[in-house]
Amino acid sequence: MNLSVFGKLRKPRLHRHNDWLAAEREANEVPPGGQWPWPDIDRPSVQLLQDQTAFHEAGHAVVARYFGVKVSQLSIRRRANSLGRVFPLATPAQQRTERYADLRRCADRNPESRHRIPVGVLHPRSLFDYEESLQAELHTTLAGAVAEEMQFSSCTGSGGDWRRFHLQVSCCYGNLTGFVPGSSIAFLRDRYWNSCKEILSKPEIWEWVKAVAEAALWSECGILTGDEIDSLRPLPPNQQDPLLPVAA
């Protein structure tokens, strides 16, 4: 068969620049610092997702501050692997959990690792010395999902929160192998979920969450500092702003 006929009928191939694939990838990549405003923000579905993210992160931040944990930043800039983030300062419980997670990752890469059972981190629950920071961490981890559900009657972005809660419970409530029965994790999750809901249902706390979410949505860059979050806290009913003159 003479293929030259088909060669004549075939449309000429469009030649692209040698770096076309890299250029397309670069155009679709999310910057390391996140995107703001979000792409396609004029679409109602994207606006709803952004609102949900703002309340989710506001819940994390406000409950952290409720327990006295300082927050350095809240971000709802869209990233490749997350829609929002809160950056609390490390507590003893968080430091211990992160060390435990590092040892588990090391063990997963090397089945013969001496850290397969990280006894340097895990020990009987009664010996844990940082009860207050653990309570703060467990509440803060679930607070985002609770706030989102309270506002929108559903929660779509809590998978990472569940995994972190599981990790914290395994590290701080588990036995020397880090094992915690699934029923115990479910019990603790329900317990802390209900406690978060009770905290967020307080009028002054919920007003704070709404103020933080709104401020994040209207911010110029999708970021609030810790000082900005603190400044949005409503004053108690009988307390006057110290910057205002006292009424005669």
pLDDT digits (tens, 9 = 90+) for 72-106: 999 999 998 889 999 999 887 777 777 776 666 66
Q: If you count them, how many residues does the chain have?
A: 248
Pairwise CA distance, residues 230 & 159, whole Å: 27
172 within 8 A of 225, measured Cβ to Cβ: no
The 8 Å CB, 24+ separation contacts for 35-40 are 35/77, 35/78, 35/79, 36/77, 36/78, 36/221, 36/222, 37/222, 38/78, 39/78
Please give the pLDDT value at position 5. 45
| Residues in the chain, pLDDT under 50 | 1, 3, 5-28, 116, 118-127, 241-248
Tokens read off for 193: 């979920």
| Domains of the chain in sequence order | 39-231 (1.20.58.760)
* pLDDT above 90 coverage of the chain, percent: 50
Alpha helices in the chain (DSSP H): 4-9, 20-28, 44-66, 92-109, 131-152, 159-173, 182-200, 203-218, 226-231
